[in-house]
A and B are shown apart, each in its own frame.
Chain A
Amino acid sequence: MNAAQEIAPVNSPLRRSVHVAETPAPRSPDGSLPAAPLELPKLKVEKLNAWYGSNHALHDVSLTVPARSVTAAIGPSGCGKSTFLRCLNRMHELIPGARAEGTLLIDGKNLLGRDVDPVELRRRVGMVFQRPNPFPTMSIRDNVAAGLKLNGIPGNHAEVVERTLRQAALWEEVKDRLDASALSLSGGQQQRLCIARALAVQPEVLLMDEPASALDPIATAKIEDLIHELKERYTIVIVTHNMQQAGRVSDQTAFFYMGDLVEVGPTEKIFTNPSEKRTEDYVTGKFG
């Protein structure tokens, strides 16, 4: 038993030590294989199709995301990677005319089922966006607690605020000014605040859509370092245009092109010896 398992969200019964031989072991931050037993896939996507009106944006995407690992989705603009990400917490369907079909299992339960409450789903599957989007009129503290209040979660919010700000590696920088406006923070701090806000409602999966593309290299490094820490507890799917970033933070990489999932595999393999010619051309910079 490792420490991460002890503090894993309680509403995740399948997070106990379950051995699944075919699940690739995620790398730990120091690159060694974890001593903890392999876990069930957290997310299992089967034949996912998505449309914007008549535009068929994702074609039969099947992919497994192991628990407590980082999966990066890469590909050129318009390849479907953000659509894929937004399907994972059913934000895709919020766009007028958009729809998705297929099977999306989280801990074995279908997310696209009629009986699934999208609001509850989005609590379990949190999202961090490209541009830091703290609530502008709220303090740092209230930003973090916003999700708790919204979800009507009772309890000691102060404790949650401190814990999640610590998890988001922001506590030391803001602990003396929790009542200051969220907008008084730098871009990188705001992004970590948004991560803290996402973590406050105890999600199991964290979706990140280009979380560092608007940040400078130092703030980016902090976010990436944070991702390494967060994957001890959370399952992370990140969309990034920055292939080096995918290489740095992810355990597995999925390459999307024109709505197809061309290839998914261990990140090291995708960047040293991909199986598909289209992946090879993309990661080596042969775009035509």
Chain B
Amino acid sequence: MAPETHTDKVYEAELAQLRDRLLEMGGKVESAIASSVRALTERDTALAEKVIASDREVNRTEVEIDDMCRRLLALRQPAASDLRFITTALKIVTDLERMGDLAVNVAERALDLAQSPPSKPFHDLTELADLSGSQLEKALDAFVERDVKKAEEVIAGDDMLDALYHRLFNNLLAYMMEDSRVIRRATSIMFAAKQLERFGDHATNVAEMVVYMVRGTDVRHPGSRGGEGAPAAPKA
């Protein structure tokens, strides 16, 4: 016994297809968030529109992946690691879809900000975007490689993202206090930053599910984590 693949090759292919679709969706979301922040900082409205339009495809993929999971559950009665993989897929697809929505929110802020005079550049925002994007990238790598250590790095990395967000938040507050004319713009940037912070939270959710998928232990909601500035509670 003990081969690495399923005896039923069709089943094996179905599982591989599910994994590939998730990765593809993750890749789209990753590029959407990067593009949305670039659209914001570079005042590129065409790029922002493109991000908004591309979300339809992300949504469609979510529905397709849900269908695939339901079909596999109903027809294959998966067990053990296959069961954990499919239930993980069902959960992370929701996170990925929300992450796509967050990218759309940022893109909408980009359109809004493009109407106003240029703001003081906020390097922190780009840094926040890079970090949250790389959190997702690493979470997806952990998923593909079934790498718990990498997933745990993502979970630990969320603190850094939160700290960065709070620094940016405080800077924006100071900026607004200095000059009330920038309140509208700064609020938009603050809103965008919040989306990035939440994006990171969803990446953490994905990573937590990867730990579950590989080890079969649920690492969500331990008593010690959370509590820093009431980070967005992960949506159900």
Interface mask (B1-18 → A, CB under 8 Å = 1, otherwise 0): 111111110010000000
A288: contacting residue among B7, B11, B78, CB under 8 A: B7
Complex partner residue of B79 from A278, A284, A288, CB under 8 angstroms: A284
Q: Report chain B residues within 8 Å CB of A114.
A: none
Complex Cα spacing A56 to B6, Å? 29
- A272 to B85, alpha carbons, bound, how many Å? 10
Nearest CB in chain B to that of A287: its residue: B7
13 contacts between A and B (CB under 8 A): A247-B79, A257-B1, A272-B84, A274-B80, A278-B1, A280-B81, A281-B2, A285-B8, A285-B11, A285-B82, A286-B4, A286-B7, A288-B2
**Other-chain residue from B6, B78, B215, B216 in contact with A286 (beta carbon distance below 8 A):** B6
**B164 interfacial contact with A, CB 8 Å:** no
Chain B residues with CB under 8 Å of A277's CB are 2
| A-facing residues in B109-152 (Cβ within 8 Å) | none
- Given A257-B1, A278-B1: A284 and B216 interface contact (C-beta under 8 Å): no
Contacts of A244 in B (CB 8 A): 77
Which of A272, A279, A280, A286 has the most B CB atoms < 10 Å from its CB? Answer: A286
With A273-B84, A286-B6, A286-B7 as known contacts, state yes or no: A281 contacts B1, CB within 8 Å. yes
> A287's contact among B1, B4, B78, B216, by CB below 8 Å, is which?
B1
Query: Is the pair A288, B80 in contact by a Cβ cutoff of 8 Å?
Result: no
Interface residues of A (CB under 8 A from B): 243-244, 247, 257, 270-274, 277-288
Is B176 positioned at the interface, with any CB of A under 8 Å from its CB?
Answer: no
* A257 to B, closest residue via Cβ: B1
Contact B5 A286 (CB under 8 A): yes
Q: In the assembled complex, how far is the CB of residue A267 from the closest CB belonging to chain B, in whole angstroms?
A: 11
Residues of A within 8 A of B215 (CB): 273
Residues 68-96 of B contacting A (Cβ, < 8 Å) = 77-84
Residues of A within 8 A of B2 (CB): 277-278, 281, 286, 288
A277 and B82 CA atoms in complex are apart in Å by: 13
> Are B3 and A283 in contact (CB-based, < 8 A)?
no
Q: Give the shortest distance, in Å, between A285 (CB) and chain B (any CB).
A: 5
Q: Name the residue of chain B whose CB is nearest to the CB of A285.
A: B6
- A247 to B79, alpha carbons, bound, how many Å? 10
Do the beta carbons of B7 and A285 come within 8 Å of each other?
yes
Q: Which of A243, A273, A288 contacts B1 (CB 8 A)?
A: A288
Q: Tell whether, in the assembled complex, residue B8 and residue A284 are in contact, meaning their CB atoms are under 8 Å apart.
A: no
